[in-house]
Amino acid sequence: MATEGFAPAKINLTLHVTGRRADGYHLLDSLVVFADVGDRVWLDPEAPPGLRVVGPFAGSVPAGDDNLVMRAASLMGRLESGLVLEKNLPPASGIGGGSSDAAAVLRLLPGEAPAPDAVLRLGADVPVCLMRRNIRMSGIGETLEPVEDLPPLWSVLANPGVEVPTPSVFRALARRDNPAMPRPLPNFGSAAELIGWASTMRNDLEEPAVALAPVIAEVIDSLRAQPRCQLARMSGSGATCFGLYADAESAAAAEAALRAARPEWWVRAARLGLS
């Protein structure tokens, strides 16, 4: 019987670039939450070995050994397993799709969990996706501090259908030694308090990403223009952006309006915060 794993979208509510190591890796400080939309992975012991990719974005994902799903299976010593990936999230879009897929495989396959450094070598976002909860992520992605009692948020995710290579975004950064978030983080008694605080923080990759793909600014403006939007920002290195709304009804209305206005965009209402 096939077993299923969920690979939720990762959203960087904040993303501060605080430095760069001698080996070229950038240091980050980010408040990460996860959405109730994402990809799905199945382990089918009766299927032939390898990976089969289905779903709306299947054509954008290679099914060979370089796929993060297969690399995660190799790390678990289970390349003989039959895996199916339902690709619902746009690829290379700043919401951790491939990393979340790999993390789902690590959770799904039986066996001893790999060492943290081996997980990190799969990708900087794989460790946080493996934890799949509200997290303050720092360093190059290896330092993970759970954030308790974070209120859930209602959002709309929107991607204009352009891929923004992460290395190009980092190369376009004007400054790499920006201030970190405060320590400790405040206690947030409500979604309004969390959103108000997040609006004083940053995504330091947003400006260079917009310079490379100006349509990102259009996505942010479109989200912000929806009634009751309280914050609009880019996630990760782009090009997916999110708007935060007062309640589920406002997010659903914004999703419907954006889908009607920009049918070529990928747009999804989502609840953020799966802890």
CA 98, 125, 144, 219: dihedral to nearest 10 degrees?
A: -90
Q: Nearest CA to 160 among 225, 100, 237, 90?
A: 90
Q: Nearest CA to 148 among 185, 121, 193?
A: 185
Q: Nearest CA to 129 among 166, 94, 104?
A: 104
Give whole-number Cα distances, 116 to 131, 194, 242, 263, 274, in Å: 12, 30, 30, 41, 22
- The stretches of the chain forming alpha helices (DSSP H) are 68-75, 97-108, 116-122, 126-131, 166-171, 191-198, 206-212, 215-224, 248-261
Per-state percent for the chain, helix, strand, coil, to nearest 5: 30, 30, 40
257 contact partners, CB below 8 Å, separation of at least 6: 226
Residues marked active site are found at 10, 125
Give the angle subtended at the CA of 155 by the CAs of 127 and 178, to the nearest 5°. Answer: 55
Checking DSSP bridges between strand 241-245 and strand 153-159, what pairing results, if any?
antiparallel
Say whether 116 sits in a helix, a strand or coil: helix
Contact 129, 102 (CB under 8 A): yes
Name beta bridge partners: 272.
Answer: 35, 153
